[in-house]
Amino acid sequence: MKRSSQLRVLLQQPGMHIAPGAYDGITARIIEQAGFPLVYMTGAGTSASLGYPDYGLITMTEMVENAGVLARSVSIPLISDADTGYGNELNVTRAVREFESRGVAGIHIEDQASPKRCGHLDGKEIEPLERYLSKIRAACAARSDPDFVIIARTDCRASMGFEEAVVRANAALSEGADVAFIEAPQTMSEVASIPERVEGPCLLNIVQGGKTPVIDLRDAEKMGYKLAILPGVLLRAAVKAFDAVLESVKAQHLVPDELNRSSPHQSFQRFGADEWDEIRARFAVGEKPTVQQL
């Protein structure tokens, strides 16, 4: 089954599905191995992996190429951040085609003016509603795969208020979007009312330290959300772990003992070493290599 079709099936099933954020092949594979049904490619994480803050500095080409790496690294559906669609309706059309061609199952497009910035930062500029809706229409029409999922994100809560965010979410759904994503609701009451007032499936974005209150994902599911994304959960954990390991090396002049408990080959098994070993053994000329030789 196509990954986009897998995502459609998940959206039709009861309950809410969680997609932790990945920014490279390592994090994507680890998410799948942990048993999650979806991977989310974080734009903030992709920016950080290239050495930039989430200030709209990453191009469509860079985002699409990274999405392709993540999509080929896993067998579960990948949802990707597609920022503002990278321009007008023509750019949005190309973006949909490019993400589709990389095996991505769905994308979200937002109503920030370019250059956009993280949805939990201040100072965002919002496009007029009609311009935003024209891009949603273009995105839906650009699909060659009818199962490819278009998620309509609105960032207008901070500057235009919660009521306008609900209006925009419903308007985008009426133009053909499959899922609504109201970014950065600011109170628990707002979080709870989104699935009640939005006339279609809803996505909740969990950003540690952001503008949205901390919520147990089981409660979000009870509220009626269909998807929850955790863009920064692995990036933040990784940075914290990197800092701790490097401080230990500086202080002790030794690699921490827990990092010595698995062999290189055991580490590579997390990333498909057994599959590649089998290919080598099947086609090698002459003496069949053993795992140790490989």
Catalytic residues: 40, 54, 81, 83, 108, 110, 118, 153, 183, 205
Distance, in Å, from the CA atom of 194 to the CA atom of 182, rounded to the nearest integer, reads 8
Q: Among 48, 145, 139, 123, which residue's Cα sits nearest to residue 87? A: 139
> If you count them, how many residues does the chain have?
294
- 3-class secondary structure for the chain? CCHHHHHHHHHHCCCCEEEEEECCHHHHHHHHHCCCCCEEECHHHHHHHCCCCCCCCCCHHHHHHHHHHHHHHCCCCEEEECCCCCCCHHHHHHHHHHHHHCCCCEEEEECECCCCCCCCCCCCCECCHHHHHHHHHHHHHHCCCCCCEEEEEECCHHHHCHHHHHHHHHHHHHCCCCEEEECCCCCHHHHHHHHHHCCCCEEEECCCCCCCCCCCHHHHHHHCCCEEEECCHHHHHHHHHHHHHHHHHHHHCCCCHHHHCCCHHHHHHCCCHHHHHHHHHHHCCCCCCCCCCC
What contacts 129, CB < 8 A, 6 or more positions away?
111, 167, 168, 171
Distance, in Å, from the CA atom of 66 to the CA atom of 190, rounded to the nearest integer, reads 33
Distance, in Å, from the CA atom of 30 to the CA atom of 24, rounded to the nearest integer, reads 10
